[in-house]
Chains A and B, each alone.
Chain A
Amino acid sequence: MRSRKKCSFISRNKERKGRRLTGGRLVYLTFLLPSLGGVCFFVLLPFGDVVRRSFVTAMTGEFNGLENYKTVLVNQAFLLAVGNTLRFVAVCIPLLLAGGLLLALAMNKIPVLAYAKSGFLLPQAIPAATIVLVWKLIFEKQGFLNGMLHTGIDFMDGRAAFWVLVGTYLWKNLGYTMVLWMAALKTVPEDVLEAARVDGAGSVTCFVRVTLPCLKGAAYTIGLLSLLNAMKVFREVYLIGGAYPAKEIYLLQHVFNNWYTRLDFDKMAAGAVLAAAVLGTGAFLMERRLWAEE
């Protein structure tokens, strides 16, 4: 009797689960609704409009087919900006991820350093305008660095400018990335590490075979955040070099900014769609690969 009751409860529960699942989903959806609505309203809908604009002329709104895309894909300024942005990302992200992780490991190994954790976040709190001012004082032709080296190199122009920018980005974001890695390192199961050590694995083997695989999920998030921060570096470049900085640090946002000023909305929309497609595809593939491996 009791077991029958139990069974009937289970079956009723199953039955209800089927119906209630919809109600549960509704609750989740309701929780999601504000942010989902915000994303739709402020991101997806405007982006939809950008996609529409990429097929029409800038001010008159006449259908222009793929002309805008063709114009953008042969535009030397756009291609240069894309190249520079990709180069910047390709150099900065690995350096940042590796540097942050090394620092985080060092922090874990040397407890005294943990006291300096907050100090690493300080660059994040300094306003961009201040950073730029200091950077100018240091790197300009008449700056401190040239004074010390007795040289007359304009580090804000030419190839050196790119590396100054890379340095700025790393200096600003390394502490934040390190904190993220430290949080991720705490999620690595200690018993698995212990088991590996018992099996005779050294520290390097433990790190490569146990710690790193456990950090994959975090790596994706940290990588994505670093990528987004890399896109924000435009603020510093704009303050250093204005709308037309040295060729080497002319980024994608420069070309969009200047097109906007001259009402080249058609080119801007096409460029934005292309950039979004590349970034979106990259992120999607990276995510797919990570999920597949897991």
Chain B
Amino acid sequence: MRSYQRGKGKTALVLFLAAVLFTGTLAGCGGGTSDGAGTDGPEQEPVFGDGTAQTAMGRYTETELSLTENGQYQDFCQLLAGEGELYIPAYNSAGVRVGLEDFALKEEPDEELYPEALKTRSEEQDYLMDMAVADNNARMYTVFVSEGESGQESFYYDKYFLSADKTERLWADAVDKDTSVDFRYGGDGWFYVSDSWGKEDTRFYRVSAQSGETEYLCELEGSVIYFTICGNILFADMGDGIHMYDLEQKQEMEKDTVLCDFIGSDSRYSNGSMAFSYLLCSGKDDSIYVVSQKGLYRHVLYGGVMEQLIDGSLCSLGDISKMFIDMYVEESENGMPVFYLLYDTAELMRFAYDPDMPSVPDTVVTVYSLYECDNVRRVISGWQKKRPDVYVSYEVGLSGSDGVTKDDALKNLATRLAAGEGPDILILDDLPYASYKEKGVLADLGDVYEKLQAEHGYFDNIISALRDSGKLYCLPMSFVVPVLTGEAEDLKKIDSVESMIQAIRKKEVPAGTFKAGLRDEESVLQCLSFSMGQSLVREDGTLDREKLERFLELAKELYEADRENMSPEQLENQQLILQSFGSLDAQMRNRQGYYMSKKAGTLLQVNLSFGRKSGFTMGNLEGDIRYGFNDFYTLVQMQGHDYTVLPGEGKTCLPISMFGLSSASASPEAAKEFLQYALSDYLMETEHIDGISINRDALLKNEENPERDEAGNPSYEPYSYQAFSIQDGGRFEFEVAWCQPEVYESFNALLDGLDNVNLCDQMVIGTVLEEGVAAVNGSKSIEETADAIEKKMQLYLAE
């Protein structure tokens, strides 16, 4: 009996242990919820007893105030608080005043605030840098001085102190004139100065805004990236973290590791014009505010946390094209201060806390791209300003910081798509577009395009070329056009790649000049692939051997024609330039994908900057009007050239930032709205995108000349000056003016005439670029190279 009971006890124990083991096994592998690592999606909303989700309320919202005058940026330098207003001084004008109550510009800038000495300098077109303004309107600034003949100039920096009674005197108390400095006003009656830029160590001084007397503060190891004064502490980013110097105790303080870790990679760049990737500003008690693309944070010195007040991805803070100049904090009674932030795009933003706004937007739209896409970042930033109720989460497959390969990223995406948890919008650049289309991953965007067309004109010739059996699975935001530049007479004779090679061979150029400016094998292959790459693979997915061999033959001929005028010694001398340019171009390709490399404007600059007037140039025409086409056209004219579409398989363009809508999108309506905004409102509002806008109306709008002369008529005087140091120690410089209307007319006609969209398979092109080099330089025969390419592609295409 006892034995039986013992047996029962054993059985029960076994059953219990087995149950525990089984439950443990399952629990260890249970679904669970994601901890959100690696995503920037909003947190789960709390669910209350009745099972309904109650939205947490309260969020900072932003208001924008444009400070541009007649569409022109003013070069503002600082925010200065006054009685119920902010004064924003500028380098070459009186600046502007903004009322804090109504957040609007005051009618007239107060000319009293603009000292005569600065007016004179502005009229004499002195180049002012690094200005700081005190409460009493005393100023410190640098004047950049260049002496000597063009190409042989010497430079130095004159630093000035302009007292409150408007007397200007040279400030040379501590720093010699060869050294550039940075000025800040500390808000405590002192200007702070760092002798920065290129020095091994940096010395800090302060200058009294009243008397102009100089006091030495300290010396820190390294070159300063950014410094500011918060309360009694000087914060200086020396590249190895934020150093802190106690201005009362006159001694360096211990580093705040939490702050240093947080700033991390944000500290690595500034655009060299007093605009920064992050800012610090003093707060209540021992706290400081930190603003960066990540958002706006509060941090108590030596505390363990960075408290997020504003999420950068929900507002304009996340816009990568903007940098910060200055921030002003207006403390409020409810403990939620109002923040004023000045961008380098002459925009003043006000961030005020709205207790009635949901802390996390109800609707989320996820956008995925393989590479970081500047166009998408800008669109999201604009969208979040317009629609704070719809959160756009942007995911980048290859962020470059986590060692993920392209293959890994594609597999991760495939897993999510298969699970029905994929992104709502896919940026299809370098993604397997054909496969996604065939598998039904992408939804038809025909209805979206119809709505867009009802509002604006688009390059329908390009969109039509993207249609597949009447359906539209992608909509590009912009495109680039492979172009050929050369003398107008020569270009008229070119209608095919063969005739182009003939024209290049016939062209007479000075000895030591590349005839087509192509320089190396890969450039030749890449340029030809822009206009011919798509035809290498047949519709049935097999490699067209005949076309591949012809492609390689043409590339070889083009390569030989390009360097006909170069002796072996001259080619040897060019090696260094080739390597450095090749590596720059490869960086561009790795960062933004294949289409964003080989910029025609850059190639022209390279040719001209070395005094090489090549007979032809070929590359991609991309960019907006102001900074893309105008620069390109100026350089084309400098070379005495005209331009046309690069010959090949039709008149080809390469689409970029291609939006696709997931057929399994959880928020299809919001995603479609986002798409419409990107291609309609955003493109109409902006003048700066990568590539040529697919929205024809937006392009036409950007072609309108905003430059005005004194009478208010369109001005064709230069609005931009560009200079580059070149290898022999000299400088290459050029000025850019707005083009005449007929130039844009012929540009538009060229764009309207495009009839082919190159969606070539990146795997195929990658292999051709890699293996084709041997055929182009003759180290292997065409047949051998074609064999090697075929062998490599065999498996890929057979799959």
Contact = CB atoms under 8 A, between A and B. Distances in A.
Interface in A209-225: none
Contacts of A255: 799
A75 B18 contact: no
Contacts of A282: none
A77 B796 CA distance: 8
Contacts of A31: 14, 18
A293 B148 CA distance: 101
Interface in A30-76: 30-31, 33-34, 37-38, 41-42, 57-60, 75-76
Interface stretch (B294-302, B406-414, B557-565): B406-414
A207 interface: no
A277 interface: no
A259 B418 contact: no
A59 B439 contact: yes
B435 A263 contact: yes
Contacts of A41: 26
Interface in A229-288: 242-244, 247, 250, 254-255, 257-265
Given A76-B798, A77-B795, A250-B795, A263 B22 contact: no
B29 interface: yes
A80 B795 contact: yes
B22 A77 contact: no
B428 to A, nearest CB: 13
A229 B26 CA distance: 27
A37 B14 contact: no
Contact of B411 (A33, A254, A261): A261
B792 interface: yes
Given A37-B25, A247-B794, A263 B436 contact: yes
A262 B799 CA distance: 10
Interface in A167-217: none
A59 B791 contact: no
B577 interface: no
Interface string B7-47: 00001001100100110011001000000000000000000
A90 interface: no
Q: Kindly name the residue among B14, B22, B795 whose own CB sees the greatest number of chain A CB atoms within 10 A.
A: B795
A75 B14 contact: no
Given A30-B15, A33-B22, A34-B25, A244 B435 contact: no
B18 A263 contact: no
Nearest to B663: A59
A265 B798 CA distance: 16
B14 A263 contact: no
A58 B440 CA distance: 9
Among A78, A260, A262: residue with most chain B CB under 10 A: A262
B554 interface: no
Interface centre among B407, B410, B792, B798 (most CB of A within 10 A): B798
A30 B17 CA distance: 9
A57 B795 CA distance: 23
Contacts of A259: 799
| Chain A residues touching B, range | 35 or more
Contacts of B435: 262-264
B663 to A, nearest CB: 8
B418 A30 contact: no
A283 to B, nearest CB: 26
Interface in B770-799: 791-792, 794-796, 798-799
Nearest to A24: B11
A95 interface: no
Contact of A34 (B21, B441, B791, B795): B21
B364 interface: no
A94 interface: no
Contacts of B410: 261-262
A27 B14 CA distance: 7
Contacts of A250: 795
A290 B792 CA distance: 44
A34 B414 contact: no
A261 B414 contact: yes
B18 A261 contact: no
Of listed A77, A242, A254, residue having the most chain B CB within 10 A: A77
B411 A260 contact: yes
Nearest to B435: A262
A55 B173 CA distance: 84
A262 B414 CA distance: 7
A23 interface: yes
Interface residues of B, number: 29
B578 interface: no
Which of B11, B29, B439, B792 counts the most chain A CB atoms within 10 A?
A: B439
A144 to B, nearest CB: 25
A26 B432 CA distance: 53
Contacts of A23: 11
Contacts of A42: 29
Contact of A77 (B15, B791, B799): B799
B22 to A, nearest CB: 4
Interface string B133-159: 000000000000000000000000000
Contacts of A34: 18, 21-22, 25
A258 B794 CA distance: 14
Interface in B407-465: 407, 410-411, 414, 417-418, 432, 435-436, 439-441
A257 B796 CA distance: 12
A13 to B, nearest CB: 13
Contacts of B796: 244, 258
Nearest to B410: A261
B14 A30 contact: yes
B198 to A, nearest CB: 40
B623 to A, nearest CB: 33
Nearest to B417: A263
Contacts of B436: 263
B651 to A, nearest CB: 30
A212 to B, nearest CB: 40
Contact of B18 (A33, A243, A254, A257): A33
A31 B10 CA distance: 13
Contacts of B663: 59
Contacts of A244: 792, 795-796
Interface string B324-353: 000000000000000000000000000000
Contact of B440 (A59, A80, A254): A59
Contacts of A60: 439-440
A77 B414 contact: no
Contacts of A78: 799
Contact of B22 (A37, A58, A262): A37
Given A30-B14, A247-B794, A59 B418 contact: yes
Q: Identify which of A23, A244, A250 gathers the most chain B CB atoms within 10 Å of its CB.
A: A244
Contacts of B440: 57-60
B439 A263 contact: yes
Contact of A58 (B407, B432, B439): B439
Interface string B63-84: 0000000000000000000000
Contacts of B18: 30-31, 33-34
A244 B791 CA distance: 10
A59 B441 contact: yes
Nearest to B16: A30
B441 A263 contact: yes
A165 to B, nearest CB: 16
In order of increasing CB-CB distance, the 3 nearest A-B pairs are A77-B798, A76-B798, A262-B435
Given A23-B11, A260-B411, A264-B435, 19 more contacts: A27-B14, A31-B18, A57-B439, A59-B439, A60-B439, A77-B799, A243-B407, A244-B792, A250-B795, A254-B795, A255-B799, A257-B411, A261-B407, A261-B411, A261-B414, A262-B410, A263-B414, A263-B417, A263-B441
13 contacts: A27-B11, A27-B14, A38-B25, A57-B439, A58-B439, A60-B440, A77-B795, A78-B799, A80-B795, A247-B795, A262-B435, A263-B432, A264-B435
